[in-house]
Amino acid sequence: MPALGAPPALRVFGVTKRFGAVVANKDISLDVARGEIHAIVGENGAGKSTLMSILMGMVTPDAGEIFVDGVRARIRSPRDAAALGLGMVHQHFMLVDTLDVLDNVMLGAEGGALLAAGRKRARARLADLSRAHGLSVDPDAIVGDLPVGLRQRVEILKALARDARIIILDEPTAALTPDEANDLGLLMRWLAADGASILFITHKLNEALAVADRISVLRAGAVVATHAAAATDARELARAMVGRDVDNALSRGDGPPGRTLLEARDLTARGADGRARLSGVSLSLRAGEIVGVAGVAGHGQSELIEVLAAMRRMESGALALDGEPVDAAVYDPARARALGVAHVPEDRSRHGIVGEFPAAGNAILGRHRDRALGRRLLDPGAIRARCADLMERWDVRPRAPDTPVGRFSGGNQQKLVFAREIEAGPAILLVGQPTRGVDIGAIEAIHRRLLALRDAGKAILLVSVELDEIFALSDRILVMHEGRIVGERATASTDRREIGLLMAGVVERAA
Amino acid sequence: MAMENILSFLGAALRLSTPLIYACLAGLWSERAGVIDVGLEGKMLAGAFAGAAVAALTGDVGIGLAAAVAASMTLAAAQGFVEVERGGDQIVCGMAVNMIGAGVTAFVGAALFAEGGRTPALPREARVLPFVWGQDALTLGAFGVAAITAFILYRTRFGLRLRAAGENPRALDAAGGSVRATRHAAVAVCGLLCGLSGADLSLAQAAGFLPAMTAGKGFIALAALVFAKWRPGAALATCLLFGGLDAAAIRMEGAPLPFLGVIPTQAFQALPYLMTVVLLAGFVGGARPPAAAGQPYRRE
């Protein structure tokens, strides 16, 4: 617990940063005491990343001051930040994949022009840290070969090896299994008890509530609330984040699922590197049900949805749509669409939209052969009208068919993609990470729509790394690990713990 | 006789490899730091010309060498400004350097010496001459530069940062290293080595400058760099192999081979390129360039 009377380890006072007309940080003030875990929650674009970049010296604020241990600090570069004892664990790890763990830990703090002495010191330091915190990792392993959880550990060790006393973790649980996330929470507690101050950035309110001492909510660049974790709840935080009440009660019809619309047997697929990504995956999808696919990122879920959507070649296996076998040799995305399969890809900006194209063009991508859009030549008027209609029905804002879609918010881009895919009337919907980079308001809307589609008799396959989402929407849950389906559960008869164990590859015991 | 033949073949192979080794290591420095350089050829030409022209005017090989390095490093500095400072396209800028190198040397050469772009033939004292085993200091120096490159790259702080700048510059920046300074330094060393490569052509292998005398060696060096997978030791070996093939091509000219008869020399000369194409097509292991090569670094 924070010592009384001592100045806070970190004080941010009145920090403001503008990028052009956008105010990314507006008069932000917050304190982190010694030994405190302070969570910062907020939606995408609320200004969390900008604030962190300012603290780490990557961005210079327009106004405001930062105090470390009560002393005014000038942080002009990452080097200054490190010298003041600030360390950061980035969401997208700042590691060099081709180097080994030692070199990564040393980089930027090599301690001399020649590496040999520094490597020796770093090796000793890692051994100490391993003893002190139980954070062991092979110092000679190439970072690119390590699993995500261990790579994050290297990031943490990198900060600790530099004697960081104020540690910033940016969305650290995004790529972890629930168990790994729990371990990370324990580590944060341990480090805080040891006197470190921790800034924990997340969009998962439950995690913030479980781990943090205090929670600050960022909305539109400003701190709108700071609560003691013990004195608040998810509902209050969500309201502060969004600026209105969030109703996350979802309702679903209780009709039984209908006939099988998609049946896959023994699908296998390889990545570009020749490694197996799918090994004998079988699943079926019936009308009127949502089947969730859970798993740690990178365990074959992406490949599964790509194979089903004809974006990746299946090496072997069989696929049947509505009882009709599909000829793998001629199954391509256009054919998939013709057969009533719609696809909302998980990487929206790569496969879902063309950012530079106007919204109107994006609203017909892949659906452009529709005669209603023009017979020989495309009819721009008809395309704009189609887009305007989709925008109206899905509440895409702004209603601006001519604006490049890259300028829309993530949530509105995603709504446009959903509108395009769903309004074409598919029987089967393949959805990857439907709410990635999407604000809470749009998440609500998308979840409701998905359930409505389910109730209307569509078959929906939902791949998501957000377990909350899987649990909220799915009727059945499939768990993937290393390219296989390692478990299937009815949502009603399982819990997060069991799914989490399956995700971690803990093999099912014969019960 | 046979022994003599072998020795003279090896000597020729070494000589022909020398400019490739310098150029290939030049490219290695730049690209391992994340700056693709297709402008090796242009900088080599500038170095070759400046070296020969200044050596001809002063009669001093040392001043000639310095001029070669200075000319090449000037172009490298311009590349550094465009590519590192301003974030310009590295391929386009490299091609521009090639055009400047080819055009300016021929133009200035014609204006200064009125011999159709050639520089006057250099006297002995203005050339780099063999002094041991029939080899000159530049050839021997190439091996030293390869060793020094390997040492700096893998054993020093600067080398670690250089590799980080080429693989994940954001990681280097976040760790408190300067991507900008690292890349500038790498590009400068690239200029230095291209200057030596050019000087070898006009001061050691020939006694003066001829327009376009690099004859694509800058691109062969790039091919060798890919073949060597951006590693200094392998770069040295690959350049020796390519130089050896070149020497073989010259020896084989018109001489029939058993079973095959007379093989056109072009077939030998084409081998390095064929080998590179086969490699790039993924038949011989993958050649993975530094992950951030070609990407200007900007903070978000």
**Chain A, chain B: beta-carbon pairs less than 8 Å apart:** 78
Chain A contact for B183 (CB, 8 A cutoff): no
Give A457-506 as a DSSP string: T-EEEEE-S-HHHHHHH-SEEEEEETTEEEEEEEGGG--HHHHHHHHTT-
| Shortest CA distance from B161: residue in chain A | A107
B168 lies within 8 A of chain A by CB? yes
Interface membership of B160 toward A (CB under 8 Å): yes
| B178 has a pLDDT exceeding 90 | yes
| A98:B291 CB<8 A | yes
Convert the pLDDT of each residue in B119-133 to its tens digit. Answer: 999 998 889 888 877
Please check whether residue A113 touches B, CB under 8 A.
yes
B285 lies within 8 A of chain A by CB: no
Q: Which residues contact B53 (CB under 8 A, 6 or more apart)?
A: B67, B108, B109, B112, B113, B119, B209
B177–A112 C-beta distance less than 8 A: no
Domain count, chain B: 1
Does A24 reach chain B within 8 Å, measured CB to CB?
Answer: no
Residue A291 CA, chain-centre distance (Å), reads: 20
Alpha carbon distances (Å) from A197 to A93, A471, B289: 20, 33, 40
Question: Looking at beta carbons, which residues of chain A come within 8 Å of B168?
Answer: 94-97
Q: State the ipTM, two decimals.
A: 0.89
- Comparing CB atoms, the residue among A78, A95, A113 nearest residue B176 is A78
Residue A508 clears pLDDT 70, i.e. is over it: no
Structure token digits, residue B14: 């070494």
Q: Which residue has the tokens 């918010």?
A: A409
Residue A216 pairs in a beta bridge with A40, A226
Whether B269 is in a domain gets the answer no
Confidence tier at B149 by pLDDT (50, 70, 90): very high
Q: Which residues on A lie below 8 Å from B174 (Cβ)? A: 56, 58, 78, 88, 90, 94, 108
Residue in B23, B2, B9, B1 with CA at minimum distance from that of residue B201: B23
* DSSP letter (8 states) at residue B254: T
Answer whether residue A149 shows pLDDT above 90: no
Report the alpha-carbon distance of residue B7 to residue B210 in Å, rounded.
28
The beta-carbon neighbor of A107 closest among B154, B164, B291 is: B164
A82 in contact with chain B, both atoms CB, cutoff 8 A:
yes
Reading the block at residue A386, the tokens are: 């189609």
Inside any domain, residue B267: no
Q: Is residue B31 part of a domain?
A: yes
Q: What is the pLDDT of residues A193-210, one digit of tens each?
A: 999 999 999 888 889 999
**Quick check: B156 and A103 CB within 8 A?**
no
Q: Looking at the partner chain, which of B154, B157, B174 has a beta carbon nearest the beta carbon of A56?
A: B174
Task: Name the residue of chain A whose CA is nearest to B289's CA.
Answer: A98
Which run of H or E residues covers position B100?
A: helix B90-113
What's the 3-state SS for A384-452? HHHHHHHHHHHCCCCCCCCCEHHHCCHHHHHHHHHHHHHCCCCCEEEEECCCCCCCHHHHHHHHHHHHH
Tell which of B155, B157, B283 to mutate to test the A interface (max A CBs under 10 Å): B157
Token digits of residue B19: 């400019």
**How many Cα atoms within 13 Å fall on the side-chain side of residue A346?**
20
Residue B161 located in a structural domain: yes
pLDDT above 50 for A511: no
**Mean pLDDT, chain B, integer:** 91
Nearest-neighbour CA in chain B from A155: distance (Å): 11
Between positions 122 and 161 of A, the ones with CB within 8 A of B are 158
* Inter-chain touch A78–B155, beta carbons under 8 Å: no
Whether B174 and A158 lie within 8 Å, measured CB to CB: no
* Mean per-residue pLDDT, A423-429: 93
pLDDT of A247 reads 67
Contact flag B176-A77 (C-beta cutoff 8 Å)? yes
pLDDT in the model for residue A39 = 96
Q: Is the pLDDT of residue A510 over 50?
A: no
Measure the CA–CA gap between A301 and A456, rounded to whole angstroms: 26
Q: Give the gyration radius of chain B's Cα atoms.
A: 19
pLDDT digits (tens, 9 = 90+) for A61-76: 999 999 999 999 999 9
Interface test mutation site (partner A, options B148, B151, B152, B160, max chain A beta carbons within 10 A)? B160
Sort out which chain B residues have CB atoms less than 8 A from A45's CB and list them. Answer: none
Quote the CA–CA distance of A401 and A338 in Å, as a whole number: 26
Q: Do B177 and A115 touch (CB under 8 A)?
A: no
Q: How confident is the model at residue A488 (pLDDT cuts 50, 70, 90)?
A: very high
Q: Residue B173 is nearest to which of A78, A103, A115, comparing CB atoms?
A: A78
> Domain range holding B98?
18-127+136-219
> Do residue A58 and residue B299 have CB atoms under 8 angstroms apart?
yes
Question: Which segment of A170-174, A284-288, A312-316 scores lowest on mean pLDDT?
Answer: A170-174
Cross-chain Cβ contact A103/B175 below 8 Å: no
Q: What is the DSSP string of A124-175?
A: HHHHHHHHHH-----TTSBGGGS-HHHHHHHHHHHHHHTT-SEEEEESTTTT
Nearest Cα of chain B lies from the Cα of A162 at a distance, in angstroms, of 10
- Kindly state whether B152 is in contact with chain A, defined as any CB-CB distance less than 8 angstroms: no
Average pLDDT over chain A, rounded to whole?
90
Residue B205 lies in a domain: yes
pLDDT of residue B285: 66
Tokens 């480090």 -> residue = A191
pLDDT of the residue at B187: 98
| Residue at B213 is within a domain | yes
Weakest mean pLDDT among A43-57, A484-498, B135-149, B220-234:
A43-57
Is A88 in the B-facing interface, judged by CB distances under 8 Å? Answer: yes
**To which H or E segment does residue A200 belong?**
strand A197-202
Please tell me which of the candidates B158, B167, B177 has its beta carbon nearest to residue A97.
B167
B77 CB-contact burial (10 Å; exposed 0-12 / middle 13-18 / buried 19+) = middle
CB contact under 8 A, A112 and B157: yes
pLDDT of residue B268: 75
Domains delineated in chain A: 10-242 (3.40.50.300), 260-510 (3.40.50.300)
Closest C-alpha among A433, A410, A465 to residue A148: A465
Which of B176, B191, B174 is closest to B84 using CA atoms?
B191
Q: What pLDDT does B284 receive?
A: 65
> Is position B69 within any domain?
yes
- Cα gap A309→A341, rounded to integer Å: 7
Q: Please, which pLDDT band fits residue A254 given cuts at 50, 70 and 90? A: confident
Q: Which helix (H) or strand (E) holds A19?
A: strand A10-19
Are residues B173 and A58, on separate chains, in Cβ contact within 8 Å?
A: yes
* Among A residues 32-71, those touching chain B with beta carbons less than 8 Å apart: 53, 56, 58-59
Q: Are A15 and A48 in contact (CB under 8 A)?
A: no
**A417 in Cβ contact with A348 (< 8 Å):** yes
Binary contact (B158, A88; C-beta < 8 A): no
Residue B7 counted as domain residue: no
Contact B157 A98 (CB under 8 A): no
- Among candidates A58, A96, A118 on the partner chain, residue whose Cβ is nearest the Cβ of B168: A96
Contacts of B176 in chain A (CB under 8 A): 77-79, 81-82, 108-109
A94 to B175: CB separation less than 8 angstroms, yes or no:
yes
Is the CB of B177 inside 8 Å of chain A's CB atoms? yes
> In this complex, do A115 and B159 lie within 8 Å of one another by their Cβ atoms?
yes
B143 contact A CB<8A: no
Note whether A372 and A391 are within 8 A (CB).
no
A280-302 confidence digits (pLDDT tens) = 999 999 999 999 999 988 889 99
Nearest to A115 among B156, B171, B177 (CB): B156
Span A437-484, pLDDT tens digits: 887 778 888 999 999 999 999 999 999 988 889 999 999 999 999 999
